[in-house]
Amino acid sequence: MIPQTPTEVTGPASTGSRATRVLGLLALVALGVLVLFGLILSPADASQGESVRIMYVHVPSATVAYIGCFLTTLGSIIYLWRKSRWWELVAYAGAEVATLFTVITLVTGMLWGRPTWGVYWVWDARLTSTAMLLLLLLGYLAVRRLPADYEVRAKRAAIVGLLLVPNVMIVRKSVDWWRTLHQKPTLLSNGLDSKIEGLMLFSLFTGFIAISLVFGWLIVHRFRLAWLEEQVESEGLDIAIAERRAEALIGEVAP
Amino acid sequence: MNWGYVIASWIIVFGSIGAYSVATVLRGRRLSRQVPPEKRRWS
Amino acid sequence: MVHLRGAVALLGRFPALAGVDLDIDRRRIVLLRGPNGAGKTTLLRTLAGLVHVSEGEAVVLGVDLLTDRRSVRQRVGLLAHTTGLYDELTVADNVAFWARAARAERSDVDAAMARLGLDGRLRTVPVGRLSAGQRRRTSLACLIARRPELWLLDEPHAGLDQEGRDLVDQLLREATAAGATVILSSHELDRSLQLADEVVTLSGGVATRDS
Amino acid sequence: MIRDALLVAGKDLRLEWRSRVALNQVAPFALLVLVLFAFALDPDRGLLEKATPGLYWVAVLFSGLLALQRSFSIESADGNRDALRLSGLDPAGIFLGKVMAVGLQLLALEVLLGIGVAVLYTTPITGWILLLVTAMVATVAIAAAGTLYGVVAAGLRVRETLLPLLLLPVLAPVLIGSTRAFEAALGGTPSEGWPWVGLMGVIAVLYIVAGVFGFGPLMEES
């Protein structure tokens, strides 16, 4: 992931490298194992029935979404502190991948809710704070993708990114308080806490491994893509200075 | 009886991750051509 | 007072200054000239500490602009095309706000307004209702109340009447007599050449000194 | 820093006083929102009464958003950012000054809306201490967060649309907290309201600190 000194002069013509190919292969194998255990080998839950299988992808997705947010805040802090563009791009990659997994978390949560609660949406504390998380991430991405100079975008986005994790914590706390005053239907306390064992636990574990590998692979590729985007933007600065100086020479010849 | 929701969730998970991955990789390939090799410092 | 060596300044990705060399001593009046787009305005904004110098050397009033731009800002006075004045506030409120922000004394504020002829009926007129020349006078009043060590003026004569232009020249001579340094750009060449001690021509983001 | 803050706050309030935009446009808008709620929720069915605290704070939030937009549109004149950077004002002072000015305008709006709610929705007012403390803390939180995100969006063509997107999700906990605290006060169980005041206090402090340290970098480079 760290841009290193070139080992060969001709770099790869994509965002891939030997390391990411190994990582990608591992992720694919893990996903295969996850399908095998999550959909075929593990039994249905006594109380939830088959819909417990949604948990094996839902819970890991929620976890990596939070990890992505954490990367965004961490990257933003280091960018503001050290002026490190590298970390700024990590923050950007983290936010975008986190957005993907937040959407996945929301959709799978709703699809789990329909057979369990009979409706797609209830104002469950976790579901609500995940929706708020999505809105906060979209705000960050809106600033980061502003049509403006890199410095302007990066600095403003970094302030928003810096406050992302504190905001997520405050929103979660407030939504928890807000809901728990009335009822307590959260995904985990309703389903998995009590009698999870054996193959089901192993399936969930496989889910964490597989989704984490996918997350890592996506972060590396998205980071490298952001790196390329930035290179394309700053490309040709030397040429621009030379052209500007040439203007001066022409000016001297023609008085 | 809930298999429909299970399959739908898994398809959405695998589909969206797959689509995002493909988009990222393809865009990476396209941009790579515009950047000189010495600035793509990974191997 | 001012020392630039190969200074590059970017506006976005455009190199508005493409390696400027410039040395200016204290108490001098220096005229910048050059065609539109030569980098005059960017040079003045750079010297005021508003634009980031990405390459080369840049020292203004003994402060290195590459490491510290903030401490220069309070000590210079920039008269730009844009005024930064609040349209809905009166002339007196505007001058008082900007001058007191720079820690000017109340008496300096009144003196500056009197000097620019803003002490009469104009005091209580909202800036939004002023003519271009009157706005320029208001900006100048804000500037002289701050007593800057380095005056940076982007076409100070533009929009002023005959009397106003004479007043500007007089203010600049007084400023240098009091120990300040002045750099101005102007298209009023006859008037400015009389006023200036030195002339620097900018073209394509590069400076050359006229002998 | 405090001196600069007072200078900026004084300037903003004087400008508001001279232009009277808050008085002539924002205040009537706030009252209009109250009337619209009454149209949407039939006043005879008791819905309005139950929802009063929530409606009140939604009205504060939306009219406060207008006041915030206004507070940044006066700084959007050509060259204003340059002038502020050259002025010698401490960026933290500018931030605090704008927070003060926006906060005072919000308080005025809240008083007006409070009178409006009491009269139009015939809400009996109880639990004064909790009501006042909630209003103060929520106002500081809204003004501080609004000013910080206001400058993130400032100077861009998309300013008017970007600010609500950034600000409203962040203020959702303030809306929840202030509404619950008001319900507790009006329902005669003030002890349930104080934890919410604490939560809003945390938000207010977070944004004051972030603004004091973040305003300087945000004023540069744009």
pLDDT in tens, D87-105: 889 999 999 999 999 999 9
- The lowest-confidence range among C90-99, D25-34, D123-132 is D123-132
Residues of chain A with Cβ-Cβ distance to C38 below 8 Å are 251
Nearest CA distance, B19 vs chain A (angstrom): 11
ipTM: 0.89
A130, part of any domain: yes
Q: What is the per-residue pLDDT for D109?
A: 94
Q: Mean pLDDT in chain C?
A: 89
Nearest CA distance, B11 vs chain A (angstrom): 10
Alpha-carbon gap, residue D149 to D163, rounded angstroms? 7
Q: What is the per-residue pLDDT for A1?
A: 46
Put simply, whether A169 touches D (Cβ < 8 Å) is: no
Nearest CA distance, A148 vs chain D (angstrom): 9
Q: Is the pLDDT of residue A125 over 90?
A: no
User: Domain range holding B17?
Assistant: 3-39
Q: What is the per-residue pLDDT for A186?
A: 46
Nearest CA distance, D136 vs chain C (angstrom): 28
Q: What is the pLDDT along chain B (43 residues), one digit of tens a residue?
A: 688 899 999 999 999 999 999 999 999 988 888 887 777 767 5
Nearest CA distance, D69 vs chain C (angstrom): 16
Residues of chain D with Cβ-Cβ distance to C76 below 8 Å are 86
pTM, full prediction: 0.89
User: Domain range holding A135?
Assistant: 22-41+52-179+195-221
Put simply, whether C204 touches A (Cβ < 8 Å) is: yes
Task: Answer positive or negative: Cα dihedral of C115, C120, C126, C127.
Answer: negative
Q: What is the per-residue pLDDT for D126?
A: 84
Provide the pLDDT confidence category of residue A251 given band limits of 50, 70 and 90.
low
Q: What is the per-residue pLDDT for D155?
A: 79
When divided into structural domains, chain D yields a total of: 1
Pick B41's closest partner by Cβ from A4, A15, A114: A4
User: Domain range holding D189?
Assistant: 2-221
Give me D17's structure tokens.
């006083």
Query: Side chain identity at B19, as an amino acid letter?
Result: A
Mean pLDDT score, D106-115: 94
Provide the pLDDT confidence category of residue A7 given band limits of 50, 70 and 90.
very low
Mean pLDDT score, D119-136: 89
Contact A106, A134 (CB under 8 A): yes
Pick C204's closest partner by Cβ from A234, A236, A244: A244
Put simply, whether A67 touches B (Cβ < 8 Å) is: no
Q: What is the per-residue pLDDT for D139?
A: 96
Which of A193-197, C124-128, C205-209 tops mean pLDDT?
Answer: C124-128
When divided into structural domains, chain B yields a total of: 1
A135, part of any domain: yes
Mean pLDDT score, C154-165: 89
Q: What is the per-residue pLDDT for A9?
A: 44
Provide the pLDDT confidence category of residue C105 given band limits of 50, 70 and 90.
confident
Q: What is the per-residue pLDDT for B34?
A: 81
pLDDT in tens, A141-194: 999 998 888 888 899 999 999 999 999 999 988 888 887 654 444 445 444 444
A56, part of any domain: yes
Put simply, whether C50 touches D (Cβ < 8 Å) is: yes
Contact C85, D77 (CB under 8 A): yes
All residues at 6 or more sequence positions from D87 whose CB lies less than 8 Å from its CB, including other chains: C98, C101, C102
Give me A180's structure tokens.
């728990």
Contact A100, B17 (CB under 8 A): yes
Task: Name the neighbours of C, counting chains with at least 3 Cβ pairs within 8 A.
Answer: A, D
- For A43, A116, A253, C117, the CA distances from B1, given in Å and listed in that order, are 14, 12, 85, 88
Residue B32 and residue A114: Cβ atoms within 8 Å?
no
When divided into structural domains, chain A yields a total of: 1
A142, part of any domain: yes
Residue A14 and residue B32: Cβ atoms within 8 Å?
yes
Parallel, antiparallel or unpaired: strands C29-33 and C198-203: parallel
Residue C89 and residue D77: Cβ atoms within 8 Å?
no
